[in-house]
């Protein structure tokens, strides 16, 4: 089976699954910023982004501006970038949108990742100075991605195609119910026209059998209660059982779908698009690499 996560060198995970699934791992770093890139993966892509953001940070430093500090909170739900004091969330990068991570294998400070923006759908490269923790942070993101991917498969991702088919069947059933209602309306109109055509002349006496429809059948009325008849042994039949209506369930008895809580569901378009996006992101996978970002004399400590 192809894994969604890969790294050129085998590294053992650093944290327990519970730490990333039920809580988060926090790191402090300096945030050099983010910039748009043309591709979701590639060492040269992130090198160009790092060079660009370092140059911009060098200009701001010459103007007396300090590199802002941030807190990174990493879990199976994503990477949050917060203000370390106010805890205000500046960026929230969902894991299935992160496609590439790289850390500086020389000085262990700079690390970066590429994430697809949820609003613009552009690929943005985020760059950080992590105080010698670049590789650890990169591996933590990789472990969180791996756990999130497995949880996605266990919960609902493996049933995506089946649920798409169920959604299509539900849509078709709704169409058939609409057509059926229209046919019933037309049938009722025909029955009324036939009854008008058979009205006897005034003053005449006509003995009519029980009202029949155009097919010589007794019209069925859902408002008319069915009277139970005795069985062959003379005992009255048991009363009909009524089942309590299932609230918030579709006609298949399915609950609303949450990709991280198991359960089938009817598939509204917005949920379907989110699931398709998650499936596409996890299928693309996350690549982690070690590289060298010390490319020019502007690589002074920010």
DSSP string for 118-177: TTT--EEEEEEE-SS-HHHHHHHHHHHHHHHHHHHHHHTGGGHHHHHHHHHHHHHHHHHH
- C-alpha pair distances (Å), 55 with each of 48, 50, 103, 108, 114: 11, 8, 18, 19, 19
Determine which of 48-62, 64-78, 122-136, 231-245 has the lowest per-residue pLDDT on average.
231-245
For the full predicted model, state whether its pTM sits above 0.85. no
- The percentage of the chain sitting over the pLDDT mark of 70, rounded to a whole number, equals 58
Determine which of 7-11, 13-17, 150-154 has the lowest per-residue pLDDT on average.
7-11
Q: How do residues 247-290 score in pLDDT, each as one tens digit?
A: 455 444 555 544 555 444 445 555 566 666 676 766 666 776 66
- C-alpha pair distances (Å), 22 with each of 12, 148, 254, 259: 20, 12, 26, 16
Distinct helix (H) and strand (E) counts, the chain: 5, 9
Distance CA 286, CA 147 (A): 12
Q: Are strands 286-291 and 98-104 parallel, antiparallel or unpaired?
A: parallel
């Amino acid at each position: 089976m192809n894994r969604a996560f890969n790294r050129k060198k085998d590294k053992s995970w650093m944290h327990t699954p519970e730490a990333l699934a039920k809580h988060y791992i926090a790191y402090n770093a300096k945030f050099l910023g983010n910039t748009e890139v043309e591709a979701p993966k590639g060492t040269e892509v992130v090198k160009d982004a790092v060079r660009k953001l370092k140059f911009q940070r060098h200009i701001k430093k010459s103007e007396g501006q300090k590199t802002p500090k941030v807190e990174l909170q990493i879990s199976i739900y994503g990477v949050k970038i917060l203000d370390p004091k106010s805890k205000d969330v500046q960026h929230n990068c969902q894991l299935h949108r992160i496609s590439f991570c790289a850390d500086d294998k020389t000085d262990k400070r700079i690390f970066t990742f590429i994430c697809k923006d949820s609003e613009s759908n552009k690929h943005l490269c985020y760059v950080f100075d992590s105080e010698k923790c670049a590789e650890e942070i990169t591996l933590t993101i990789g472990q969180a991605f791996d756990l999130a991917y497995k949880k996605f498969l266990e919960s609902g991702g493996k049933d995506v195609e089946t649920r798409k088919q169920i959604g299509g069947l539900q849509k078709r059933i709704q169409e058939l119910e609409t057509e059926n209602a229209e046919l019933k309306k037309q049938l009722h109109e025909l029955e009324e026209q036939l009854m008008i055509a058979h009205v006897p002349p005034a003053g005449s006496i006509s003995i009519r059998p029980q009202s029949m429809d155009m097919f010589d059948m007794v019209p069925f009325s859902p408002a008319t209660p069915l009277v139970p008849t005795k069985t062959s042994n003379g005992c009255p039949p048991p009363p009909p059982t009524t089942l309590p209506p299932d609230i918030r369930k579709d006609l298949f008895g399915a609950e609303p779908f949450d990709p991280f809580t198991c359960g089938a569901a009817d598939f509204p378009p917005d949920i379907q698009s989110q699931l398709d996006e998650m499936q596409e992101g996890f299928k693309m996978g996350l690549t982690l690499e070690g590289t060298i970002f010390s490319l020019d004399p502007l690589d002074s400590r920010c």
